[in-house]
Copies of this chain bind each other. A is one copy, B any other.
């Protein structure tokens, strides 16, 4: 119980310390939200002085934006990895949706929602948010376009459909943040809506 107050942080290589700080910022963002990523909070989490955090991050807006990007893009990678197991576009999309509606994803949803709000005053973050949204949209658009090519899906505007799918998923997830419960219908209903959007027979997407 004697280690409440840390004496002095061990000297580390800059790269290592930087990674450590980024990691701490990430943890805080995931379990307390992006808004909790503060100079002092990150410092405390990393067992270091606020000054040191400031030394490694050009400014907090940047650190927050980078933390956001790190979390959200890592998730995109994960999902794409998971999805890559399937060959058919409809199967890939089904896996993607299934994953995005998984329970344990609340933390990332919070990050998204907060990014939309914070982005209105943190332009650095706003830019990162736009970039991340574009990346997600492109990934989904690719699946949709592949499905169109293979004859699985029917639409004349894969880009717009991708935006729509993402919006629907985010919206329903965000809603679940505040008013949770009803996760059962949540999944099946939205899948049905998506099938319609893609010109599919009911049940095709799982």
Contact = CB atoms under 8 A, between A and B. Distances in A.
Contacts of A161: 189
A149 interface: no
Contacts of A35: 117, 121
Contact of A171 (B134, B174, B185, B195): B174
Given A119-B178, A129-B178, 16 more contacts: A35-B121, A130-B179, A133-B178, A133-B179, A157-B185, A164-B185, A164-B186, A164-B189, A164-B190, A164-B193, A167-B175, A167-B190, A168-B190, A168-B193, A192-B196, A193-B193
26 contacts: A33-B117, A35-B117, A113-B116, A114-B117, A116-B117, A116-B174, A116-B178, A126-B178, A129-B178, A133-B175, A163-B182, A164-B172, A164-B190, A164-B193, A167-B168, A167-B174, A168-B168, A168-B190, A168-B193, A170-B171, A171-B171, A192-B196, A193-B194, A193-B196, A193-B197, A195-B196
